[in-house]
Amino acid sequence: VAFNADHAVTVPFHLPKIGKGEQAWELIFDTFEPAIPDKPWRPKKRAVYDMRPCSMAVFRSPITPAEEA
| Percent over 90 (pLDDT), the chain | 38
* Residues 35-53: tens digit of each pLDDT: 766 776 777 667 889 999 9
Helix (H), strand (E) at residue 2 = strand 2-4
Q: What is the pLDDT of residue 68?
A: 55
Interatomic CA distance for residues 8 and 50, integer angstroms: 13
63 vs 13, residue with greater confidence: 13
Choose among 47, 48, 41, 56: nearest CA to 6. Answer: 56
Interatomic CA distance for residues 21 and 50, integer angstroms: 26
User: pLDDT band at residue 67, thresholds of 50, 70 and 90?
Assistant: low
Q: What is the mean pLDDT of the chain?
A: 82
